[in-house]
């Protein structure tokens, strides 16, 4: 049971949904437009799920999603659309919708989807709480590089200089940004994050600097940007190497004198925000190539922090592995005591292209596949290992290999088998579509968001 906001400009649909969802025990409120929905969300922080129409006058479903994205991250969204065009559905998913519901739909579909979204949100919250989001953030590792970064974070925690964090994907750039925020003077302020590469330049500027009413179609009221919202806090500017040239100029001005002008506005505003930027691109090379402003580079890199790839600091692997193992074992309530010697050895020689994120994914997988005791090598790197006898015996008929396995006293790790199977299917779909997530999701009959999540979870790409 959850708290749901229904957004639709048709009163009939609103009341129909209200009745249906109330009957399931949800607390339901309604809004007749995107703008009204935002007002409601600002006033009521208990709302967990938004069920919104796509086409509405003024602020439409996509506009609402954009507004929700950074401002109300804990609110999950389902977009309803009569115009079930793939394009719009994909845009909605890109904007972070939980799922899309095609109109017309029957009551059971809405009820099931709402329940699923609320459950997913619960898991998301639990993962967030169990994760490293609690302050102060600790960087695990004993390599000279990590110790130096840790010392630097402590040293500059009480300053306000801009920090540029560089490193390959999965090396911990965001974690460093959070550590900087939570160990510094601004820990009580907000920490906002934006991925500069994910939005078009126009949208990004509106997100960063806000916009005034009438700045563009859909700008029905003034809206503050992230710099205003992060006032006295920190803004984490991820993928800063993707900034368009015109946005680079505006960011430079902000960094130099704290001034900015909202999109469509005239008057200059000021803010007090510490910027932590990150990139996995070579900004210096971009400066040389003329695609990144040199003056902005120096402004951002007041304090550079570089995170070396995991393969260059292998001494951190046992510590990190132990830390991640403990986290996942607790989460999955497994009595796992450590890694088998062959697993430790394999971890030491693995290339770790995906760095710590890949380590994390593999350990999560290992924990899921191991009931107790030590995690063997194959449960971490089992992509290359033989699996149990194939489990699909066809229409209810018993699989002889499986029967034999059970008769011989063999046990089955259901969760592990499911993971293995899931992984094989996702991988097959990705191979078939040449790594096209949208197409692969279609093949598998799951949403874009789901496949993106699975690919990450399974450490596939
Ligand atoms: N030193 C560390 N100690 C503990 N956990 C770490 C450490 N470094 C990274 N992690 C964990 O590894 C995962 C990836 O880290 P993070 O998201 O910060 O990487 P990133 O560099 O921002 O990656 P990307 O470029 O792909 O966005 C996170 O779950 C993070 O908590
Ligand atoms: Mg990151």
Question: Greater confidence, 97 or 263?
Answer: 263
Higher pLDDT, 218 or 373: 373
**Which region among 163-167, 224-228, 391-395, 435-439 has the lowest average model confidence (pLDDT)?**
391-395
pLDDT value, residue 81: 83
Q: What does pLDDT average to over the chain?
A: 84
Instruction: List alpha helices for 184-266, DSSP H.
Output: 201-209, 226-229, 245-257
| More reliable by pLDDT, 175 or 132 | 175
* pLDDT tens track for 17-48: 999 999 999 999 999 999 999 999 988 889 99
Q: What pLDDT sits at residue 135?
A: 41
> Is residue 89 packed enough to be buried (19+ CB in 10 Å), middle (13-18) or exposed (0-12)?
buried
- Report the separation in Å between the CA atom of 356 and the middle of ligand 1, taken as the mean of its atom positions: 6
Mean pLDDT of 195-209: 89
Would you say residue 397 has pLDDT above 60?
no
Tell me what pLDDT residue 460 has. 77
In this predicted structure, what is the pLDDT of residue 218? 81
Mean pLDDT of the 371-392 span: 69
Give the pocket of ligand 1 (CB within 6 Å). 132, 139-141, 146, 167, 169-175, 280, 320, 323, 356-357, 360
Residue 262, pLDDT above cutoff 70: yes
According to the model, what pLDDT value does residue 68 have?
85
Give buried/exposed letters for 219-255 (b at 16+ CB in 10 A, else e): bbeebebbbbbbbebbbbbbbbbbbeeebbebbbebb
Residues that place a CB less than 5 A from ion ligand 2: 174
What mean pLDDT do residues 254-263 have?
A: 89
For residue 292, pLDDT over 50 is answered with yes
Q: What is the mean pLDDT of residues 273-296?
A: 94
Distance CA 198, CA 203 (A): 10
Whole-angstrom distance, CA of residue 151 vs CA of residue 129? 26
Confidence of residue 430 (pLDDT cuts 50, 70, 90): confident
* Residue 110 pLDDT exceeds 50: yes
| pLDDT value of residue 241 | 94
Query: Is 0.95 surpassed by the pTM of this model?
Result: no
Q: What does the pLDDT read at residue 161?
A: 76
Substitution candidate for ligand 1 out of 139, 144, 172, 307 with most atoms within 8 A of CB = 172
- Ligand number nearest to the C-alpha of 173: 1
* The pLDDT of residue 322 is above 50: yes
What whole-number percentage of the chain has pLDDT above 70? Answer: 86
Asked whether the predicted pLDDT for residue 61 surpasses 80, the reply is yes
| Cα(139) to centroid(ligand 1), Å | 9
Q: Are 254 and 227 in contact (CB under 8 A)?
A: yes
84, pLDDT greater than 70: no
Look at residue 388 in the predicted model and tell me its pLDDT.
Answer: 42
What average pLDDT does the segment 51-80 reach?
86
Q: Which ligand is nearest to the CA of 176?
A: 1
Is CATH 3.30.9.40 what the domain over 312-457 is classified as, yes or no? Answer: no
Instruction: Report the nearest-CA residue for atom 18 of ligand 1.
Output: 172
| Residue ranges in 370-413 assigned as alpha helix (H) | 377-380, 400-407
Q: How far is the CA of 406 from the centre of ligand 1 (A)?
A: 41
Report pLDDT for 228.
Answer: 93
Q: Where are the domains of the chain?
A: 3-130, 144-308, 312-457
> Measured in angstroms, how far is the CA atom of residue 172 from the centroid of ligand 1?
3
Residue from 356, 452, 453, 459 to probe ligand 1 pocket by mutation (most atoms less than 8 Å from CB): 356
Is 207's pLDDT higher than 70?
A: yes
* Mean pLDDT (whole number) for 428-445: 86
Checking if the pLDDT of 178 tops 80, the result is yes
pLDDT the model gives residue 186: 77
CB distance 287 to 293 below 8 Å:
yes
User: If you average pLDDT over residues 172-182, what whole number do you get?
Assistant: 92
Nearest residue (CA) to ligand 1, atom 9: 172
DSSP of 200-212, one letter per residue? -HHHHHHHHH-B-
Top-tier CATH class for 3-130:
alpha beta
Whether residue 136 is preceded by a cis peptide bond, meaning omega within 30 degrees of 0, is yes
* Position 283 confidence tier, pLDDT thresholds 50, 70, 90: very high
How far lies 410's CA from each of 28, 42, 371, 374, 407, in Å?
Answer: 50, 56, 14, 18, 7
Q: Which CATH class is domain 144-308?
A: alpha beta
Question: Which residues does residue 4 pair with via DSSP β-bridges, in sequence order?
Answer: 28, 49
Q: Among residues 52, 122, 119, which one has the least CA distance to residue 92?
A: 52
The 10s digit of each residue's pLDDT in 399-412 is 566 666 666 666 66
**Model confidence at 394: pLDDT above 60:** no
pLDDT of residue 103: 79
- Cα separations in angstroms, 167 against 146, 181, 231, 294: 12, 19, 27, 19
Confidence of residue 123 (pLDDT cuts 50, 70, 90): low
The rounded distance, in Å, linking the Cα atoms of 140 and 28 is 44
* CA-only gyration radius of the chain, Å: 24
- pLDDT for position 132: 43
Residue 175 CA to ligand 1 centre (angstroms): 6
pLDDT tens, 231-240? 888 999 999 9
In the predicted model, what is the mean pLDDT of residues 201-207? 91
Question: In this predicted model, which residue has the larger pLDDT, 152 or 69?
Answer: 152
Task: State mean pLDDT over 442-458.
Answer: 84
Which pLDDT belongs to residue 385? 37
Name the residue with the closest Cα to ligand 1, atom 10: 172
CA-based nearest residue to 381, from 342, 415, 411, 355: 342
pLDDT band at 189 (very low <50, low <70, confident <90, very high): confident
The reply to whether 144-308 and 312-457 are identical in fold is: no
Q: What value does the mean pLDDT take over residues 204-215?
A: 92
Strands 269-270 and 259-260: antiparallel
Which tokens is 51 given? 């069920």
Distance CA 164, CA 150 (A): 15
**To 5 degrees, how large is the angle CA 293–CA 297–CA 303?**
175
Instruction: Calculate how far, in angstroms, residue 170's C-alpha sits from the geometric centre of ligand 1.
Output: 5
Distance 41 CA to ligand 1 centre (A): 31
Ligand 1 atom with the shortest distance to the CA of 138: 3
The more confident residue out of 54 and 119 is 54
pLDDT surpasses 90 at 306:
yes
pLDDT band of residue 301 (cuts 50, 70, 90) is confident
């Amino acid at each position: 049971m959850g708290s749901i906001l229904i957004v639709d400009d048709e009163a009939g649909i609103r009341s129909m949904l209200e009745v249906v969802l109330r009957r399931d025990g949800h607390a339901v409120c309604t809004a007749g437009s995107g703008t009204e929905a935002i007002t409601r969300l600002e006033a009521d922080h208990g709302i967990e799920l938004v069920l919104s129409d796509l086409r509405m006058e003024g602020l439409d479903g996509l506009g609402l999603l954009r507004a929700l994205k950074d401002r109300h991250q804990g609110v999950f969204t389902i977009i309803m659309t009569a115009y079930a065009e793939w394009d719009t559905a994909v845009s909605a998913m890109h904007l972070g919708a939980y799922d899309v519901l095609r109109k017309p739909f029957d009551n059971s579909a809405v009820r099931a989807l709402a329940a699923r979204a609320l459950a997913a949100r619960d898991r998301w919250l639990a993962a967030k709480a169990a994760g490293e989001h609690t302050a102060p953030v600790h960087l695990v590792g004993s390599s000279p590089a990590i110790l130096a970064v840790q010392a630097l974070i402590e040293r500059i925690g009480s300053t306000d200089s801009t920090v540029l964090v560089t490193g390959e994907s999965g090396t911990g750039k965001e974690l460093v940004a959070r550590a900087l925020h939570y160990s510094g003077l601004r820990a009580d302020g907000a920490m906002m994050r934006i991925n500069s590469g994910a939005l078009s330049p126009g949208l990004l500027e509106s997100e960063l600097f806000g916009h005034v009413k009438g700045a563009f179609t859909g700008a029905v009221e003034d809206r503050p940007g992230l710099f205003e919202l992060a006032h006295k806090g920190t803004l984490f500017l991820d993928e800063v190497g993707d900034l368009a040239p015109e946005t680079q100029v505006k960011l430079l001005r902000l960094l130099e004198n704290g001034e900015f002008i909202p999109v469509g506005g005239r008057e200059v505003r000021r803010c007090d925000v510490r910027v932590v930027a990150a990139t996995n691109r070579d900004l210096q090379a971009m400066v040389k190539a003329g695609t990144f402003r040199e003056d902005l580079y120096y402004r951002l890199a007041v304090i550079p922090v570089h995170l070396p790839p995991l393969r260059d600091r292998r001494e951190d692997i046992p510590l990190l592995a132990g830390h991640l193992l403990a986290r996942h074992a607790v989460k999955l309530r497994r009595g796992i005591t450590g890694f088998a010697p062959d697993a430790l050895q394999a971890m030491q020689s693995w290339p770790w292209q995906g760095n710590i994120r890949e380590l994390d994914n593999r350990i999560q997988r290992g924990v899921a596949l191991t009931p107790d005791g030590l995690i063997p090598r194959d449960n971490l790197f089992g992509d290359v290992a033989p699996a149990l006898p194939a489990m699909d015996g066809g229409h209810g008929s018993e699989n002889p290999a499986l029967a034999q396995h059970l008769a011989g006293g063999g046990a089955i790790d259901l969760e592990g088998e499911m993971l293995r199977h899931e992984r094989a299917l996702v991988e097959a779909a990705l191979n078939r579509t040449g790594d096209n997530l949208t197409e692969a999701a279609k093949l598998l009959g799951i949403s874009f968001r789901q496949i993106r999540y699975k690919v990450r979870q399974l450490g596939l790409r």
